[in-house]
Amino acid sequence: MAAVIVEDLSKSQEAAQNASSKDRKLVDLANDTTNIHRFDCERVPERVLYARGTGAFGNFQLLEGAEDVTYAGVLTDTSRNTPVFSRQTAIPRSGRMMQGFGANTFVPVNKEGKRHFVKFLWIPHLGVHSLVWDESLKLAGQDPDSHRKDLIEAIDNKAYPKWAFAIQVIPEEKQGHFVFAILVATKIWPEELVDVAIELHIANHTQSSTSSSLKLS
């Protein structure tokens, strides 16, 4: 199977090199789509996500439009209030203190038809805080659900957690200026190379949810 894949890729790459400039973009797009599909379908044990997680429902309130990047109403209409749901599977000090990263790279288009590559980020208003090793060992034995409980109890007490929603933007014409692959789903873009350019809105989470059997007494 691996030999077939290598042969197919070599043939498609050769076709791309021999294609006219008019057709080369289409061939490159087909190659990229095939490579991404194969990468996403790989099952590497150390990359398998831990299924248990906690989530929260909330509201997306746009504070500043991103018309230069997209014409989608959800990111340009400041009068719109959009329901959102976020899910967390890592282990921070609290679910309220966890930064979120979008796995995929998106390609929005603005009204002029210009494309950008975009990554989405969630930045907690309480800051990003984690546990040190000794704290993790202690809590794992006493209350392994402490970070989930903190999120749920804060919402129940109407101390709603908030996140700023931000984006990183790479113009299409600059996609080849970086040493890292900008389309790889398991990689983040270094902030020292790609600025967190626009903080778009506040997400106010008002209702908790969980995919585990967590019960609060």
The residue with tokens 């190659």 is 31
Return the half-sphere exposure (C-beta side, CA atoms, 13 A cut-off) of residue 84.
Answer: 21
pLDDT at 108: 93
pTM (predicted TM-score): 0.65
> Looking at 1-15, 89-103, 155-169, 182-196, which range is the least confident one?
1-15
Which H/E stretch holds residue 62? strand 54-62
Average of per-residue pLDDT values in the chain: 75
pLDDT band at 169 (very low <50, low <70, confident <90, very high): very high
Q: Is the dihedral of CA 64, 70, 73, 75 positive or negative?
A: negative
Q: Specify the long-range contacts of residues 98-107, CB closer than 8 Å, at least 24 apart.
A: 98/124, 98/128, 99/123, 99/124, 99/128, 100/163, 101/188, 103/185, 103/186, 104/185, 105/182, 105/183, 105/185, 107/172
Say which CATH topology domain 54-203 has. Catalase HpII,  Chain A, domain 1 (2.40.180)
Distance CA 197, CA 117 (A): 13
